[in-house]
A and B are shown apart, each in its own frame.
Chain A
Amino acid sequence: MLHPPKQEKVDYWAYSAFKKMKNLRILIVRNTLFSSGPSYLPNNLRLLDWKCYPSKDFPPNFYPYRIVDFKLPHSSMILKKPFQVHLLAIRIYKLT
């Protein structure tokens, strides 16, 4: 959970930071404005609670097959066809 007492802006960060947290189940991000979104999110997430999620879409290969709650108000999501992206992801996942 990332929730600083005062709102913080983050311009530079390691976009792949979550790669090392493959077992992360709950991710809560509040009061933090990222200039760009993550390049990776763990597929084991059950709760993704990220106010002001900065990207238009989820990262490629993000297939949170056990997700329960997408809490993404004030996001920059476009939601064009995100679930097709995931379909593709699961096919690859099954092949490998």
Chain B
Amino acid sequence: MQIFEDLTFINLSHSQSITQVPDLSGAKNLRVFTLDKCHKLVRFDISIGFMPNMVYLSASECTELKSFVPKMYLPSLQVLSFNYCKKFEHFPQVMQKMDKPLKIHMISNAIKEFPKSIANLTGLEYIDMSICKGLEDLSSSFLLLPRLVTLKIDGCSQLGQSFQRFNERHSVANKYSNLEALHFSEANLSDEDVNAIIENFPKLAYLKVSHNGFVSLPNCIRGSMHLKSLDVSFCRNLTEVSELPLSIQKIDARHCKSLTLDASSVLWSKVLLLSALFR
């Protein structure tokens, strides 16, 4: 079936009558498909999960959308966006390895878990799942995705445990995560959670754990030789800070009201930028 061979771009954003996306298998060369803010959109045809040339697919702020497709293999995909689809709860099965560099945006979704086949997203570099408050677990195979460099899970308050579990399984798997940037603020992180994060992600350069309740930063942080930026602002219970690695360039410790004098002098001794510590 060769119907729309040249069709490359479709933009139907803000179209308030669209409830479903029909079969587009006749548009094999479709590369960019934008459906942002289609507030009545509830269904995608299964063909959309198998578009060989799709590079960019965005259906952000489709507030009624609960799922995309049950199965997908989009070998050219580089951007997938479902930001603020507040009812979105089902991530598709990934049928084969997708190794193109991929960014996924899914802020404020209703997703609880990912299928095991997420391990097929071997090209995944960046994923933003901030404020997915129902998200219960991230598997080790997810955290060990080879290209995953940036993980944003601000406000995902059930995920601290996943990092501790990762700690337990990880010694068996004997693999290392390549994660460089982790945003994990407002997530009820305990001392154990923070310890597990710092122990198991030695390549972290940017760590944002602001607005959490942990009391101390673990000693092992000294071994995080790549850590450049640390944000612990609004960690109102943070009392103890041990020696920080030499690599550190920026610390944000605003509103850390419980810091001991020793802890704050550790911070002062290290930082180039430390704004309004005692504000």
Total chain B interface residues with beta-carbon distance under 8 A? 24
Q: Is the CB of A72 within 8 A of B11?
A: yes
The chain A residue with its CB closest to the CB of B14 is: A74
Q: Is A73 located at the chain interface by the 8 A CB criterion?
A: yes
**Which secondary structure dominates chain A's binding surface?**
loop
Partner of A71, one of B4, B11, B16, B19: B11
Partner of B6, one of A46, A72, A74, A84: A46
Partner of A74, one of B9, B15, B24: B15
Q: Is A29 located at the chain interface by the 8 A CB criterion?
A: no
Q: Is the CB of A56 within 8 A of B23?
A: no
Q: Is the CB of B3 within 8 A of A77?
A: no
In the complex, A86→B26 CA distance in Å? Answer: 11
Contacts of B272 in A (CB 8 A): none
Contacts of A46 in B (CB 8 A): 6
Partner of B15, one of A67, A77, A87: A77
Partner-A contacts on B (CB < 8 A) = 3-24, 26, 34
> Can you sample 6 A-B contacts with CB below 8 Å?
A71-B9, A73-B34, A76-B15, A76-B16, A77-B15, A83-B23
Q: Which 3 A-B pairs have the closest CB atoms?
A: A69-B9, A74-B14, A75-B15
Partner-B contacts on A (CB < 8 A) = 46, 56, 64-84, 86-87, 90
